[in-house]
Structure 1
């Protein structure tokens, strides 16, 4: 049972959210929600997948393009993989894009285009983990689930002055967030805490003076708010090296390869290349006079930095190496490439 303090905090947060909720293209604001307008689960799901590991500002234009091109989950389920990967380019973490398509096709085929409402059933969908399942259940269906993202973790750590470092403190932070989640309007409450963390209880220089939780915040009282949440130090990212090979025919056609379904950039088109390691072996796709282009491509993935050397040659007319794709220059779109491959193309084109 929630005590009076928790009920007061929840009410304070919701009152603040009703006045200050951020406007987002995937959100149903508190006024419309109070009038009975329900969020579209497809838009909630899509936004939550896109927002993983990035910001609202970075996602907004991607979301609008996606929903303009594929306005329903059934429309997305029918899309070609390369089209979706192309629209996703720049958001990174391409496994999310592959799971996005898998999930859309499961929802379209097995649920007739309607997302399930329950947390445990949402968890069975491809690419939907505990956070995303809780967010969909709470925001789209007003289920009383606890949504724990980085903003919520920060608010809880400061509100209760919790110094145990992340990620080990996640269970305690979720327990605190759950204790505040009200039985009524749990979706608006979840968004209220996220908005508070994004706009007031920010990582640096939190605006404590205008925070609706100024009085009960234990970290603010102790003067430790800027120190929280504590995090276990990350290991430095290693740097890997590699080679990519760009070959073009006289008519402008380019040589591409489709990467294996599993692993980084899985299933996407890109330039033939070597492995990515400390000492990559040069591995051109066919014998030729390959010339190295001045400069290098630098890119950072989640767990490592990557430096690529670029090699180029002319592709003989009528020559089609096995396991590669010859793409006509009129069909080739640099925007369909993953970002690291597009960087290689830009360097090659600018030589």
Structure 2
């Protein structure tokens, strides 16, 4: 087993220095976050099983608990860890076996990274789970907290705010990062942060937002095959730029026993993106009515044959910002 050691980084001073104001954006210019000039591989499939997170290049990073809410960027896996007292910590596990504690308290569904693994973004809750939220963006190549801002995330009058009720009625989130801009869903508007300056503005350009959640058809890098829109209940197809579409399928095995609960459902699946010019990636789930788990699959062109990604047979846990295993901007 890989030896592990734990480090705590003191973000508290930084947080105190930059919170408590409603400016458009503030930036903690001291490098207080773990940084790296040799980031982990993020350009492919990522999934978790047990306490291990599997990266595209075959690297496996072990966490100190079963995999839950996590993202991959910079030097490793950023994840929420529950200790023996049920207090949740935000930690970094590196490929070298180090575990780094932070003082941040992210709202788990807001965790986002850039496709190249340089940027980490989330909504922090420095006053606790039931308090106001702040947008945070970190440059993991320098450790610099480029953005810490409550712009658009708190009302003008905070004297009598029930924060839990407010965020249930008006959900806030991080849309994602594209190019040099991070997009945050505020109470009323989408806020765009210029990552070269940390400055905030109301998003006027919707093209960047569209890039975060591309609509079908999804083209391979060479633009020779696409995944067309999939009608509900239909078997997914792959369409060449010229010619007839190919219906995807799993190879039949007449000698295979009947599928058991917990095994992959090979009768229903969806395709979501491309690993390369000839390999589409998609999802099915385990056969379990009470708690089905995602299972990653790949389908190849031109034959349309599909297979379960090795290691996914019993279901996996996917990164918060990669609900299909690959980054939305891959």
Scaled by the length of structure 2, what TM-score is found?
Answer: 0.26
Between structures 1 and 2, the one with greater strand share: 2
From the CA coordinates, give the structure whose radius of gyration is larger.
Answer: 1
Between structures 1 and 2, the one with greater helix share: 1
Scaled by the length of structure 1, what TM-score is found?
Answer: 0.25
